[in-house]
Amino acid sequence: MKKYMACIATVVAVGSVSACGSSNGSSTGSAPATAATTGSKAATGGFTGSTKLPSGKVGVLQVNAQSERIQIWGKTAKDALSKVGWKSEVIDGKGDPAAWAQAMTTFINEKVDGIVTLAIDPAAILPQLKAAKAAGIPVITAGITVAGPGKNLYAANYAPPDGRFGQVLADYLKTKFPAGTEYVDQDLTAVSGAHALITAGDPLMKAAGFKLVGTKDLNPADLVPQTSKAAVDLTAGHPKAKIMLTCCDFAPPIVVPALKQAGRTGVTIAARYDNPSSLALIRQGAPVVIAAADSDQSVLLAIGQLLAKKASGTAIDPKADAGKYTFKMVDKATVPASGFVFDPATQIAAAVKQWQTEYSR
């Protein structure tokens, strides 16, 4: 018995030492001055600004976490809020308007300090947006441009201009394909931000002499099977088409295998966002090109505005993101060997660094 007790005591002691070590990091013991500085920084979390930042909580509502990009934006919000010591609650709306409304109501009842919605058109949550406004809870939508009635109930809509993706893609494709090249569109008119890529890209493509020979408007209720089937049918119906301009970031990982299975590998898929799955396909040599943007900035701007409102009562600036975004075309020649083109972690670090100079905790 004594032997077992001794073992337990030893394990507990070792555990304690190890715990002390991890809390103090590498500065333990050997350099007291450094340890003090580090301890001071740790106490403030590196926040050395003049404005006191109270604690807070933000509700983040994703339109549908099936989307890789929506997941990334949700994680960006969660990570950034955690770095400023704020709580976050990220809810997957599962593409279901009823779930969106329920999540919004939950956030309002919890009296959160702000809500960030990711890609939810306002009409679907109009009563909840009104209720949030009445409760004094600012709601910002980020990531993608929204449209429709009730848009003014959002305190701001931060997003890289969706049409710009279409322009960037069209400008790139003009340099890679001759005039007269036939192409097809995969559109999603039900989502205004997704549709904007096509409405901006098509006129430029046509002006460059490209010929739009087929379009498929996807049904949002059946996205994955439809995207795959539409790609095969469009290319079968228009065998001379060399380009598929797609509204949506989820298309490449669905379309590339579908076309490969159908034996149509000569079609270039032009899509948006530097999603890991799209980048992996480009690295593997699949015919995919993407227009990427530092879209996580939109989420970080939303959080920054909510922090400022809570800390100093600053009104939310609906134009805070004007001219902030950078776009870049990615193809096989320019794809990074690993990671993102616009790394969310880097964008978070830049935002946190700025907040550290503005706020104290």
Minimum Å gap between C-beta 40 and another protein is: 38
Helix (H, G, I), strand (E, B) or coil at 65: coil
**CB of residue 77 to another protein, shortest distance in Å:** 16
Residues in contact with another protein, shown as a per-residue x/- string from 278 to 317 under the rule CB under 8 A: --x-------------------------------------
Does position 267 interact with another protein (CB under 8 A)? The reply is: no
Binding of another protein at residue 258 (CB under 8 A)?
yes
CA dist 58 and 162 (Å) reads 25
Query: Residue 117 has which token pair?
Result: 């919605």
Residue 41: CB minimum distance to another protein, A: 34
Q: How near is the Cβ of 219 to another protein at its closest, in Å?
A: 7
Residue 62 — φ and ψ, nearest 5°? Answer: -90, 140
- Is 208 within 8 Å of 142 (Cβ atoms)? no
Backbone angles phi, psi at 279, to 5 degrees: -65, -40
Pull the structure tokens for residue 252: 């490449």
* 192, 226, 268, 295: residue in contact with another protein (rule CB under 8 A): 226
Residue 134: burial class (beta carbons within 10 Å; 0-12, 13-18, 19+): exposed
Our finding on whether 257 is near another protein (CB under 8 A) is yes
Binding segment (CB under 8 A) for another protein, from list 167-175, 200-208, 237-245, 341-349: 237-245
Rounded Cα gap, residues 283 and 274, in angstroms: 12
Q: Is 110 in the site for another protein (CB under 8 A)?
A: no
Structure letter (DSSP) for residue 19:
H
Report the site for another protein in 127-186 (rule: CB under 8 A).
none
Least separation, in Å, of the C-beta of 227 and another protein? Answer: 9
Task: Please state whether beta strands 156-158 and 268-272 pair in parallel, antiparallel, or not at all (unpaired).
Answer: unpaired
Helices (H) and strands (E) in the chain, counts: 12, 13
Binding of another protein by 249 (CB under 8 A): no
Residue number, 131 or 280, with CB nearest to another protein: 280
3 state DSSP class of 103? helix
Supply the minimum distance, in Å, between the C-beta of residue 240 and another protein.
Answer: 10
| Binding-site ranges for another protein (CB under 8 A) | 65-66, 68, 71, 92, 94, 189, 214-219, 221-226, 228-230, 232-234, 236-239, 250, 253-254, 257-258, 261-262, 276-277, 280
